[in-house]
Amino acid sequence: MRALIITVDMGEPDYEAHAEEFHMLAEGAGAQIVETLKVRRARPDAAHFIGSGKVEEAALLVQATQPEVILVDQALSPAQQRNLERALKVRVVDRVSLILDIFALRAKSHEGKLQVELAQLQHLSTRLTRMWTHLERQQGGIGIRGPGESQLELDRRMIGAKVKVLRERLARVQRQRATQRRSRARGKTFSVSLVGYTNAGKSTLFNALTRAGAYAADQLFATLDTTTRRIWIEGAGQVVVSDTVGFIRDLPPTLIAAFRATLEETVHADLLLHVVDAASPQRDEQIMEVDKVLEDIGADKIPRILVYNKIDLAGYEPRVERDEHGTIARVFVSALTRSGLEGLRGAVAESAQIAGNNAFNVENIQPE
């Protein structure tokens, strides 16, 4: 699909990385980018986000390039999106809608599809009026005002009913996951979750550790569905490893809420392996974004090891680094070439032993 991209520089120091990431999102959704319009603003324009002058410039680009869709790298309000569509006569998709579209494209499991559908409906419910612009133009009249309002109300009720059904289904999924976790806890199985920014190489690392065949690709959000495998690690015994959905800056809150069932694997893990793209110039900012989401979902207190992946591209040697307390803090690996994996397995084993000792000590505390 032919797409015109509008990127907005709001004065952030990492604007270029943000714009490049949005291009990757667009291409991941199947867009053929015909032109990019760069806009500089100190603050969003209330009516169009990009200002009337840039709207005119965008209209000329639309005439010249004939795009089928306009992609805006910011979250637009329903009114801003509607105003841009009216001015440019082309469908407008903002950052949130684009991410939701990619999630819908990539979700494979029943659970993943339920979560995406819930997020899409919640997002759509705030934008219902834009679907009924033909009714908005009709100002009163016999037999006009009533049906317009009742149709909107009907749509709201239908969406509300569907959202309720999806939430009930996801609640059942959460109960099933909770049962599985209790079973693992009774068996004293150490659980590890891979977390990280999207495209950091989590699925490739997961496959390297577990010899699984999870889908891995050089694209944003290649993995949406949590995959779990049991592996044997010397010094730790049976370990359950989970590969989870990647994070991204400004992840839509509706998406975080909808994917809570999947992300609960992260919340209830004994250890988080925070996978970082060691070759990315934005790796520090990406680490902060992941930390922010982990805090949002209540997983910020879980023991964590930073795993610097793709060292073959970054020029690092495989190694294990400890903090001032002697605890393993960083492990440098290449999931692709499998270098440094022994060090990572050793780090997991050491963490499992520490967790086991702590659990033993807690269990043996006698009440006074």
* Cα(163)–Cα(270) distance, integer angstroms: 32
pLDDT band at residue 206, thresholds of 50, 70 and 90? very high
The 3-state DSSP class for residue 328 equals strand
pLDDT digits (tens, 9 = 90+) for 113-167: 887 788 888 877 777 654 444 444 444 443 434 444 456 676 777 888 888 888 8
Q: What CATH number labels 2-93? A: 3.40.50.11060
pLDDT digits (tens, 9 = 90+) for 219-260: 555 555 567 888 999 999 989 998 887 787 777 666 676 666
- What's the rounded mean pLDDT across residues 279-289? 91
Identify which has the larger pLDDT, 60 or 176: 60
**Rounded mean pLDDT of the chain?**
82
Could you state, in order of their start, the residue ranges of all structural domains in the chain?
Answer: 2-93, 108-166, 180-363
pTM metric for this prediction: 0.73
Task: Please check whether residue 2 is in contact with residue 67, taking contact to mean a CB–CB distance below 8 angstroms.
Answer: yes
- Alpha-helix residue ranges (DSSP H) falling in the chain: 15-28, 52-65, 78-88, 95-106, 110-125, 133-136, 145-186, 202-210, 253-258, 260-267, 283-296, 311-314, 341-363
The β-bridge partners of 243 are 194, 227
Category of 196 on φ-ψ map: left (φ > 0), alpha (ψ -120 to 50) or beta: left
Position 328 scores a pLDDT of: 95
Amino acid at 232: W
Name the range with the highest mean pLDDT among 45-49, 118-122, 162-166, 288-292: 45-49
Comparing C-alpha atoms, which of 251, 262, 235 is closest to residue 107? 262
Position 212 scores a pLDDT of: 66
- The DSSP secondary structure of 270-319, one letter per residue, reads SEEEEEEETT-TTHHHHHHHHHHHHHHTT-TTS-EEEEEE-HHHHTPPPE
* Cα(330)–Cα(308) distance, integer angstroms: 7
Of 3.40.50.2020, 3.40.50.300, 3.40.50.10190, 1.10.10.10, which CATH number belongs to 180-363?
A: 3.40.50.300
- Alpha-helix residue ranges (DSSP H) falling in 224-279: 253-258, 260-267
Position 147 scores a pLDDT of: 45
Half-sphere exposure of 204 (CA within 13 A, CB side): 20
Task: Please check whether residue 271 is in contact with residue 303, taking contact to mean a CB–CB distance below 8 angstroms.
Answer: yes
Domains 2-93 and 180-363 share a fold: yes
